[in-house]
Amino acid sequence: MGLRHLSLKTGDLKATERFYAGLLGLKIPFRHRGMLFLRSPGEEDVLDFCQVSEPFDPKAGGLDHFGLHVDRQRFHDLREKLKAEGVKVVGRRGRWAVYVKDPNGYTVELYAD
């Protein structure tokens, strides 16, 4: 038994797609009305974003952050790409991990440990 997917709310499905697919390079294995499913390359894990019309607090429910593993060779280039797009680093853990905010306010750890 293992984690297959994580489902998160979003107020802007298009901005979420631009951030995760456009900037971070996650793949879109399939779509469903009002939902965006994303998979990291070569993996079976899936992030599922569900469009909601009501405002929500990304801090509610105890979620602190979720992590996405990045190949060390790509880590520096990805950090530069995010910086060029105006995505600010909100935290660090050592040399190979940074925390950023996605368009929904969720904290995403990008790490190359």
Spatial distance between the Cα atoms of 12 and 3, rounded to a whole number of angstroms: 25
Helices (H), the chain: 13-17, 72-84
Does residue 21 register a pLDDT over 70?
A: yes
Write down the mean pLDDT value for the chain.
88
Ordered by start, the domain boundaries in the chain are 5-53+64-111
Q: What's the pLDDT tens digit per position in 86-97?
A: 999 999 988 999
Mean of pLDDT values over 27-39 = 90
Query: How far is residue 87's CA from residue 37's CA, in Å, rounded to a whole number?
Result: 22
The domain covering 5-53+64-111 belongs, at the CATH homologous superfamily level, to 2,3-Dihydroxybiphenyl 1,2-Dioxygenase, domain 1 (3.10.180.10)
Higher pLDDT, 66 or 84: 84
Tokens in use for 68?
């996405």
What is the mean pLDDT of the segment spanning 1-16?
A: 83
pLDDT digits (tens, 9 = 90+) for 41-79: 777 778 888 888 888 887 777 677 888 888 898 999 999
Output the pLDDT for position 108: 93
Pairing label, strands 35-39, 46-51: antiparallel
